[in-house]
Structure 1
């Protein structure tokens, strides 16, 4: 198999603890793998990943943990690039309508089930049969991160071929025009209910391990326990603060 599949974890009942990587560092991805998360997320939308570093990070990680690629956009080129690199799953941003969801699913599947173009270095390493077998294990995740996405979430969750929903809390707050926790919690609960109604796991972007623990307690199946930007930022601040106190 080209990659460690995410689908067994999605079908299970255990929480899936994620490490989110945006800095584009292949060594950071290798360190993250050693922590044994349920999956790595490589942020291709807002992160610093380029095609070469993406291929290298997935090459270092994909046989050991599932790799989720947060695509740059909901389009065939962006989705195909992530899957051709060997990602086990794509997390498609800014899904707001049923048509958005269908377009994402179509871009993830080879004909006759979709419109993904066949090719790529990794998919063809073991031949066409292996490429088509790997296609069946690709997990399609949709990011619900706008007011319109929340308003349409019940219909979005019903689209065939969707494997999980994930809530982008930061963009959702921007879309709502408020960071009021009560307002955002209602939106998140609605997305979670829609996912459950259609037998889909629901994930939540969380800032740290404490927030992830709370998300799991609230019934979310996926949450971000650590992200590289915050770990590096906090590590530098903590080290300097400690050194200055001891000086």
Structure 2
């Protein structure tokens, strides 16, 4: 009996992208528009983030955009919270990674990793339309390609980052610079820079990739020079705002 080869297209893996050991550019999407992601993809970013914590993404739109993009680039979903439901929704949609916000301890990081892995390594529930399309074995194999990342974006998280980074099974760290600045309060910029350096050092000590939110090209280039593995090249909100501003300002001038 002839065996039929598995000719399914391969989902892009964040683990594979990190293994290439090169600086990666990230496009960040919050506005909930699949066509806008398609337009953004013409710039060929190395990976994309779909923001469900603060963005406008509904579940059906999330499924649509990941189904369209996951064979082109690794798709990270920043989930709304560190819960089994939030993480499962992102991974069941086919994301390469769930990025968990506001992690402040090793226990919280372990919980995130557990929610993202099938038993016996974690407690992710088996199911979902997309994971089961090709059967249970394929679902398990796809689950092995998942990366769970955690956001360090508070004073508490920065002060516990060495313990967080040592959590088994964690895929990467990501610095939320906006919330970290809010958490620190009115401090000199060098204090935030010291936090970022400490987080990057903890990631390196545990052989983890480390990303950072950057709000401008200048900041992105500076972060690359510091050694961060991936930076935000552009966000849909800022691109739209800046584009409209530039056009209107040019006409007024």
3-state SS in 1 of match to 2:38? helix
1: CA distance, partners of 2:228 / 2:204: 10
Residue 96 of structure 1: which of 82, 104, 118 is its match?
104
- Counterpart contact for 1:168–1:205, Cα < 8 Å: yes
Runs of 4+ in 1 over 3 A off after TM superposition: none
Task: Name the TM-score, length of structure 2 as normaliser.
Answer: 0.95
Kindly indicate whether residue 161 of structure 2 is the aligned counterpart of residue 153 of structure 1: yes
Q: Number of paired residues?
A: 245
Deviations 1:195-233 (A, max 9, x none): 000111111100022211111111111100000000000
Give the match for residue 6 of structure 2.
none
Output the CA distance in 1 between the equivalents of 2:40 and 2:245: 21
Q: Distance in 1 between matches of 2:79 and 2:113?
A: 13
What is residue 72 of structure 1 aligned with on the other side? 80
Question: 1:148-191: CA deviations, max 9, x gaps?
Answer: 10111001000000111000000001111135211100111110
Which residue of structure 2 lines up, in the alignment, with residue 37 of structure 1? 45
Q: Aligned partners of 2:103 and 2:144: how far apart in 1?
A: 22
Q: Counterpart of 1:81?
A: 89
Alignment partner, residue 201 of structure 2: 193
> Displacement of 1:120 after TM fit?
0.5
CA contact (8 A) 1:173 1:184 kept: yes
User: Structure 1: which 5+ residue stretches go unaligned?
Assistant: none
The answer to whether 1:139 aligns with 2:147 is yes
Root mean square deviation of aligned Cα:
1.0
Distance 1:34 1:179 in 2: 39
1:243 aligns with 2:251: yes
